[in-house]
Amino acid sequence: MKRLLKVGVAGATGAVGLKMLSVMSERGFPVESVRAMASGRGDARTVPFGSLALPVEELTANALPGLDMVLFATGASVSRQFVPIAVAGGAVAIDNSRAFRMEDGVPLVVPEVNAEAVRRHAGIIANPNCSTIQMVLALKPLQDVVGIKRVVVSTYQSVSGTGKAAIEELREQSGSTLAGEPIISRVYPHPIAFNCIPHIDVIDEDGNTREEIKMVLETRKILELPELQIAATCVRVPVFHSHALSLCVELESELAPDDARRVLGEFPGIRILDDASDAVYPTQLSSSGTDETWIGRIRRDASVTNGLWMWVVADNLRKGAALNAVQIAELLLDERSG
Ligand SMILES: NC(=O)c1ccc[n+]([C@@H]2O[C@H](COP(=O)([O-])OP(=O)(O)OC[C@H]3O[C@@H](n4cnc5c(N)ncnc54)[C@H](OP(=O)(O)O)[C@@H]3O)[C@@H](O)[C@H]2O)c1
């Protein structure tokens, strides 16, 4: 029997942290106790864990020793400060921020794609960027069967990917727009209601955003393809939940769309929804609240040799963040009991 664990969730009041608690409860993650931690400045006094209301504690260095596992759903600077303290106190840390993702010795894991990397951890395991997770799920089966040469991706990312303040911003701005009232932007540089913003995170000297660079570097690390050519454009769209990707993959050799449907559909975590002539394909609304990565609109890209287009949709708070982190925790559990 698996041992019951003392688990901490840091950032438990945020969009990802709350989802981590609900995913752990839904999946019956074997906990002896769960501690919910946040800044100490927020309004939430308790957060739900199944039928329980957990008190929200302030995340401090003293709060971390004695835990077996801490799931971090905090920003990079908070993670940089507290993840090493959690690890020094005896815990394994699973971190959702970008703080440790590209560090040598820190596995960057999507369990269906590179579960074996978990074994190489030295206390910290990183959860990849949300758009990267759903993209590598679509790329891995193609890489295994025919090989991939070049990837061009455009994202359509929901506001929940930015966190709870952005969910509120879209809600408020939508109401204000419909009421003909002034629009106030606090989170994004432009109104997000009834708009699309081709700018996620900071822009570098070459004109790429950090989100675009993350998709390139993290994909290469997870797939262990350091030379893979990837071009990304990341766009924020006025959708509450789920990210969509328009993904064009140049393969090493030919794979007919029907064969791609079969290969992708047999891969764990992927569901095919693809009968475009009957308007059957995944959308952000249809994928919200689900655990799978949904793929449709699979077709040849005749503009390149061996090109394949697809439309890839997943719930960013579930597979793109909380579910993936809990699946990593489950892999660790299997290791401990194995
Ligand atoms: N949203 C996504 O789809 C997604 C996907 C993948 C990865 N991530 C990453 O996951 C992390 C969390 O994102 P999110 O979307 O959940 O953000 P969020 O909704 O803004 O939540 C942030 C959480 O961090 C806590 N926090 C802020 N400052 C803190 C401090 N000084 N000490 C302790 N806790 C503090 C907040 O607590 P208070 O309530 O007390 O302020 C809140 O619980 C980020 O690194 C993000 O990049 C997000």
- The residue whose CA has the least distance to atom 17 of ligand 1 is 163
**Tens of pLDDT, residues 24-43:** 999 999 999 999 999 999 99
Q: Return the number of other C-beta atoms located less than 10 Å from residue 77's C-beta.
A: 10
| pLDDT in the model for residue 338 | 55
User: How much is the CA Rg of the chain, to the nearest whole Å?
Assistant: 20
Fold classification of 132-315 (topology level)? Dihydrodipicolinate Reductase; domain 2 (3.30.360)
- Catalytic pick among 121, 234, 241, 243: 243
| pLDDT in the model for residue 337 | 64
What tokens were used for 283? 């959308």
Ligand 1 cavity residues, CB under 6 Å: 11-17, 38-39, 41-42, 59, 73-76, 78, 96-97, 130, 160-161, 163-165, 316-317, 320-321
The ligand 1 atom at the shortest distance from the C-alpha of residue 59 is 33
Low-confidence ranges of the chain (pLDDT < 50): 1
Superfamily of domain 5-127+321-337: NAD(P)-binding Rossmann-like Domain (3.40.50.720)
> Pocket of ligand 1, candidates 22, 47, 74: which has the most ligand atoms within 8 Å of its Cβ, to mutate?
74
Residue given tokens 């006094």 in the structure block: 45
| pLDDT in the model for residue 287 | 98
User: Is-contact 9 37, C-beta < 8 A?
Assistant: yes
Is 199 catalytic? The answer is no
> CA separation (Å) from 214 to 10, 132, 218, 298?
23, 8, 6, 25
| pLDDT in the model for residue 334 | 80
- Catalytic pick among 130, 234, 241, 248: 130
What tokens were used for 192? 């997000």
Q: Give me the residue spans of the domains in the chain.
A: 5-127+321-337, 132-315
Is 130 catalytic? The answer is yes
| pLDDT in the model for residue 3 | 81
| pLDDT in the model for residue 1 | 36
> CA separation (Å) from 334 to 2, 116, 196, 338?
8, 12, 42, 6
Q: How far is the CA of 254 from the centre of ligand 1 (A)?
A: 42
Return the beta strands (E) in the chain as ranges: 5-10, 31-38, 46-49, 52-58, 69-72, 92-95, 124-126, 148-157, 229-236, 243-251, 270-272, 293-301, 307-314
The ligand 1 atom at the shortest distance from the C-alpha of residue 44 is 39
| pLDDT in the model for residue 72 | 98
Q: What is the model's pTM?
A: 0.97
